[in-house]
């Protein structure tokens, strides 16, 4: 793991060629933080902390280590994506950190879930490269050496340094998203309990969408405002993840405003134009799923406009002020 750069697994002979060695645990300075700048995934030199077991997801530490920073010292000092190797370095470290973070959220337990990131593309005069988390590995214990690098034809360009790993069964689904959402650069798959339970709100289990409206967190999922109706497509689960590809494609095409697809009795796929956007949208969707489930328990349909409330159609700001 990348916990504040403290995992130094160098052998007594000084060999750094094996899994868990080299950049992922030692050579990469711990103050380098993956960030998207102008649409490009970069390692940004700064005093920001790693996502780690003790620090959580934070740019400003608690002042307990030399890596902690105050706001006045949190400005970046340079961009380090001059070549393909540095971009790969950023993507691999970021996937490992995201997987650990999602495990802590309860979204990737039992080796479930996964993350894919792609970098490059025509705007950078570089071929697209797709990085994917492996299958069957404890997500909280991942390191960058576990990550696969593929091209857009799904051919492995650089295998993991860790031996005997398999590509995620989600791999065909990452590519469906990248094909039909061409601006997406990050896809997240979770086994969130809130997502799974939200697919069961319809007792007949035939609903094609989960509808949500008039909740503030709608602003966090992209393309929607508080009083819009969000339709999140639901597809049926299959015995194997790769068998979902055709259904996922159809859902993405049928619901162009949704940045996520639910899988009944399974979980969620969500994407964004950057890893930051994908992560924050994933968090926002999960909040909405939890809200929908709890509202149903209260006898409230999350897909219906409220009959009473602080905002009703036809009322302007002056009317509300007069009533108060």
Which residues belong to the active site?
Answer: 216
Can you tell me whether residue 295 is helix, strand or coil? helix
- Parallel, antiparallel, or unpaired: how do β-strands 40-45 and 78-79 relate? antiparallel
Tell me the two tokens of residue 10.
Answer: 């160098």
CA distance 238 to 106: 22
CA distance 113 to 190: 5
Contact 177, 184 (CB under 8 A): yes
CA distance 247 to 127: 28
CA distance 15 to 17: 6
CA distance 221 to 110: 27
Tell me the two tokens of residue 230.
Answer: 């969000």
80-88 LR contacts (CB < 8 Å, sep 24+): 80/32, 80/42, 80/43, 80/44, 80/45, 81/40, 81/41, 81/42, 81/43, 84/120, 84/126, 84/129, 86/43, 87/41, 87/42, 87/119, 87/120, 87/126, 87/129, 88/119, 88/129, 88/131, 88/149, 88/158
Enumerate the β-bridge partners of residue 56. 52
Tell me the two tokens of residue 181.
Answer: 């959402």
């Amino acid at each position: 793991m990348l916990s504040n750069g403290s995992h130094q697994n160098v052998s007594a002979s000084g060999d750094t060629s094996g899994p868990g060695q080299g950049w992922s645990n030692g050579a990469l300075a711990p103050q380098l933080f993956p960030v998207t700048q102008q649409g490009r995934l970069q390692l940004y030199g700064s005093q920001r902390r790693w996502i780690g077991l003790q620090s959580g997801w934070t740019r400003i530490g608690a002042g307990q280590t030399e890596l902690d920073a105050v706001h006045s010292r949190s400005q970046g000092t340079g961009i380090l994506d001059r070549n393909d190797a540095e971009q790969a370095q950023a993507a691999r470290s970021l996937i490992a950190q995201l997987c650990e973070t999602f495990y802590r959220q309860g979204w990737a337990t039992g080796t479930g879930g996964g993350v894919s990131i792609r970098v490059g593309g025509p705007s950078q005069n570089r071929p697209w490269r797709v990085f994917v988390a492996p299958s069957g590995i404890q997500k909280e214990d991942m390191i960058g050496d576990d990550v696969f690098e593929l091209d857009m034809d799904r051919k492995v360009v650089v295998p993991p340094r860790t031996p005997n790993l398999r590509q995620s069964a989600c791999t065909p689904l990452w590519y469906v998203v990248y094909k039909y959402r061409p601006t997406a650069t990050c896809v997240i798959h979770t086994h969130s309990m809130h997502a799974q339970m939200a697919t069961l709100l319809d007792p007949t289990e035939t609903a094609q969408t989960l509808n949500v409206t008039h909740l503030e967190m709608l602003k966090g999922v992209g393309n929607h405002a508080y009083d819009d109706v969000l339709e999140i497509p639901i597809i049926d689960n299959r015995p194997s993840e790769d068998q979902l590809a055709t259904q996922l494609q159809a859902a993405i095409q049928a619901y162009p405003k949704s940045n996520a697809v639910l899988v009944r009795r399974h979980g969620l796929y969500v994407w964004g134009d950057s890893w930051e956007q994908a992560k924050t949208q994933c968090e926002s969707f999960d909040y909405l799923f939890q809200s929908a489930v709890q509202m149903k328990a209260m006898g409230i349909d999350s897909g219906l406009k409220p009959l009473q409330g602080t905002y009703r159609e036809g009322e302007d700001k002056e009317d509300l002020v007069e009533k108060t």
